[in-house]
Amino acid sequence: MDHTESVRTPASWVVVGLDNGGTCNNATVLDATGRFLVDQLVENPSLVQEGPESAVEQLAAAFTDILTMTSTPLTLVRAVGLDTPGPASADGVISSKGATNFSQVSWHGFDIRGALEQRIGLPVIYNNDANAAALYAHHRHFRPYAMGRSSVAAIVGTGLGGGVVESGRVVSGAAGMAGELGHVQIPLQGVLEDDQPMPQCNCGFEGDVESVASLTGLKKNLLPYWLARFPDHPLAQEPIDKAAKLLRSYGEKEDPLALAVFGQQAKAIGKLFTIAANFTDPDAYFLGGGVVEAAPKFRQWCLNTVREHTQLRREQIEVATFALVPDLDMAGARGAAVAALDRVQSM
Ligand SMILES: [Zn+2]
């Protein structure tokens, strides 16, 4: 056991982190000394497809269950951190146009943060899921120095999420839309092949980061082009959804088609990080998403390719670090809890 762990005194209070996803909620508890009381994934069904009422009840159940599981009295809880997929306002109001996970009309413009706060009678601090994961990556990496450092995180999933952290806190912006890194348009010289069509994003932009570095971009833009160039490839026979899912296993085997596709995604993220370098000049650049679960050698190749295509000045190279986002499946709940802890400490 880590010596510092064994001599810690019991904390006088805690915060709870709740990560709301399309199928499950994930819960954790963080004590006032910054120690997580849960080291595994603790989930319950999120029921978001049944509408806000069921979903808020499920979040309340996740809250009660995690306290029971960790033998934490309710009276010790000072606040709850909540994260959900976006788009939502900085204060947890789901977009008036709805969202992928919140398609029912009853979700449009729904204040999920306020509803949970009312239901459990404790302050609820909101972040979108990508920002929560970025915040956790930051605090996990910098630990006691987190409040004095800055970072940017790009997380590759269905879309390209992420976040910008300054002095240990998420930059949320006036409308809560800061850190929407997927929709930053990037220079595509050196990323696309000469005859490759301009990638289109669902947001209406073309040539933004998400149009290349996301599962959606992979299916819509990259794979159709590359499979046409490798007509004899086994994936050329598969439906595009299946081909996209299988691609990582080919990358791990250093398959040329897979490396060409993932190489383009890594270059696109490198271009994004180059913009970040000139914009906020962060201490750390984090890469997250499915790649974190890939075989170590392939994972490292992805991170190295991102790094090679991030143009830093010599002074920046000396201080900047590149790392993978750890504990991805727990990162949302943990980041939400970190935000709640910070809020209580600064009250
Ligand atoms: Zn976009």
pLDDT tens sequence across 268-303: 999 999 999 999 999 999 999 888 888 999 999 999
Number of H helices, E strands in the chain: 12, 10
pLDDT higher than 70, residue 107: yes
- 3-state DSSP helix/strand/coil percent for the chain, to nearest 5? 45, 20, 35
Tell me the CA–centroid distance for residue 210 and ligand 1, in Å. 6
Note whether 222 and 259 are within 8 A (CB). Answer: no
Check pLDDT > 50 for residue 1.
Answer: no
CA of 212 to the centre of ligand 1 (A): 10
Residues near ion ligand 1 (CB < 5 Å) are 183, 201, 203, 205, 208, 210
Ligand 1 centroid from CA 205, angstroms: 5
Distance (Å) from CA 101 to ligand 1 centroid: 18
Instruction: Kindly report the number of other CB atoms within 10 A of residue 37's CB atom.
Output: 18
List residues bridging with 286 in a β-sheet: 153, 323
Which position has the token pair 């970190």?
338
Interval between CA 155 and ligand 1 midpoint (Å): 14
Query: How far apart (Å, rounded) are the C-alpha atoms in residues 128 and 134?
Result: 10
Q: Residue 259: pLDDT above 90?
A: yes
Please report, as a single letter, which amino acid is at residue 121.
Answer: G
pLDDT of residue 10: 55
The string of DSSP letters for 252-265 reads HTT-HHHHHHHHHH
Question: Residue 215 C-alpha to ligand 1 middle, in angstroms?
Answer: 13
DSSP designation for 206: B
Task: Report the pLDDT averaged over residues 18-28.
Answer: 96
45 three-class SS: strand
Q: How many whole angstroms from 232 Cα to the centroid of ligand 1?
A: 32
pLDDT score, position 6: 42
Residue 3 pLDDT: 42
CA of 172 to the centre of ligand 1 (A): 18
For residue 181, the CA-to-ligand 1 centroid distance in Å is: 9
Tell me: pLDDT of 2 over 50: no
Per-residue pLDDT, averaged over 200-227, amounts to: 96
pLDDT higher than threshold 70 for residue 8 = no
Residue 245, pLDDT above cutoff 90? yes
Q: Cα separation of 72 and 37, whole Å?
A: 10
Please give the Cα distance from 110 to 66 (Å, whole number). 25
84 Cβ contact partners less than 8 Å away, ≥ 6 residues apart: 20, 21, 92, 94, 101, 102, 112, 126, 128, 129
pLDDT of 219 > 80? The answer is: yes
Q: How many beta carbons lie within 10 A of that of residue 11, not counting itself?
A: 16
User: How far is ligand 1, taken at its centre, from the CA of residue 157, in Å?
Assistant: 13
Mean pLDDT over the full length of the chain: 93
| Comparison of pLDDT for 70 and 328, the residue scoring more | 70
